Amino acid sequence: NAGVTQTPKFQVLKTGQSMTLQCAQDMNHNSMYWYRQDPGMGLRLIYYSASEGTTDKGEVPNGYNVSRLNKREFSLRLESAAPSQTSVYFCASSTIATNEKLFFGSGTQLSVL
Amino acid sequence: QQQVKQSPQSLIVQKGGIPIINCAYENTAFDYFPWYQQFPGKGPALLIAIRPDVSEKKEGRFTISFNKSAKQFSLHIMDSQPGDSATYFCAARLTGGGNKLTFGTGTQLKVEL
């Protein structure tokens, strides 16, 4: 019962470094999402993928890129990290069978110094 | 621009009390309103949800009250327990917007013995 798995759990970067956050789900879900969570701002959608082979921008996409590698995996890349990208990042997935329910991973805590 | 406004930011109640968390929205194109519960170090998990054609929905000790004309909805937790201590997020989904959710800013609830 893995559900949605995110790696790494913690990461510290220096300004300007790049990294990729990995997300995989084993529930055969069609849709996947990346959210960021910041104090006092709730969860904000960065990018989402309605199905394999498609991606679209969310509310706060600047500074990020995504890849829907296959049905299971959806990665988030920071090409040149900035302190403003210090946040907790959550991946989620859903499918028509579960209708509106989002299944979240346990998050990646990212600090950019 | 916050499309879903949530209050209060934090809340402390005694065991057995009835905490109430409120959310308000402006966009009448929202068609689905879930509440998510998040424990420290974990991702959010769906708690309960309502559609605008229903004024109230109850699941166990959790109740959503929905006022379509006022564009407000609230979460009530009956007979609250220390195990209910968590952060609660309201959310809303746009009609035809896929399964993308707009979240409120969150309410940190503490239930004291």
The amino acid present at A13, given as its one-letter code, is L
- Say yes or no: B89 contacts chain A, CB-CB below 8 A: yes
Structure tokens given for B79:
């007979």
pLDDT digits (tens, 9 = 90+) for A30-69: 999 999 999 888 999 999 999 998 999 999 999 999 999 8
Segment A24-30 shows an average pLDDT of: 95
- Whether residue B104 and residue A44 make contact (CB cut-off 8 A), yes or no, is no
Which of A35, A50, A104 is facing B98, going by the closest CB pair? Answer: A50
Three-class secondary structure of residue A85 per DSSP: helix
CA pair distance A52, A33, nearest whole angstrom: 12
SS (H, E, C) A29-54: CCEEEEEEEECCCEEEEEEEECCCCC
pLDDT value for A40: 87
CA pair distance B40, B43, nearest whole angstrom: 8
Cα separation of the two ends of chain B: 38
CA pair distance A104, B68, nearest whole angstrom: 29
State the Cα angle at A63 between A16 and A109, rounded to 5°: 75
- Whether residue B43 and residue A104 make contact (CB cut-off 8 A), yes or no, is yes
pLDDT digits (tens, 9 = 90+) for A91-108: 999 987 776 799 999 999
Residues of A within 8 A of B93 (CB-CB) are 100
Q: Give, for all 113 residues of chain B, the pLDDT tens digit.
A: 568 999 999 999 999 999 999 999 999 899 999 999 999 999 999 999 999 999 999 999 999 999 999 999 999 999 999 999 999 999 999 887 677 899 999 999 999 99
pLDDT value for B1: 54
CA A111 to chain centre: 15
pLDDT digits (tens, 9 = 90+) for A60-90: 999 999 999 899 999 999 999 999 999 999 9
- Interface mutation vs chain B, best among A59, A102, A108, A109, most B CBs within 10 Å: A102
Which of B43, B99, B100 is facing A107, going by the closest CB pair? Answer: B43
Distance from CA of A106 to the nearest CA of B (A): 5
Structure tokens given for A65:
């890129």
Residues 6+ apart with CB under 8 A from A43: A35, A36, A37, A90, B44, B89, B101, B103
Residues of B within 8 A of A105 (CB-CB) are 43
Three-class secondary structure of residue A22 per DSSP: strand
pLDDT value for B76: 98
CA dihedral over A108, B1, B4, B10, signed as positive or negative: positive
- Say yes or no: A105 contacts chain B, CB-CB below 8 A: yes
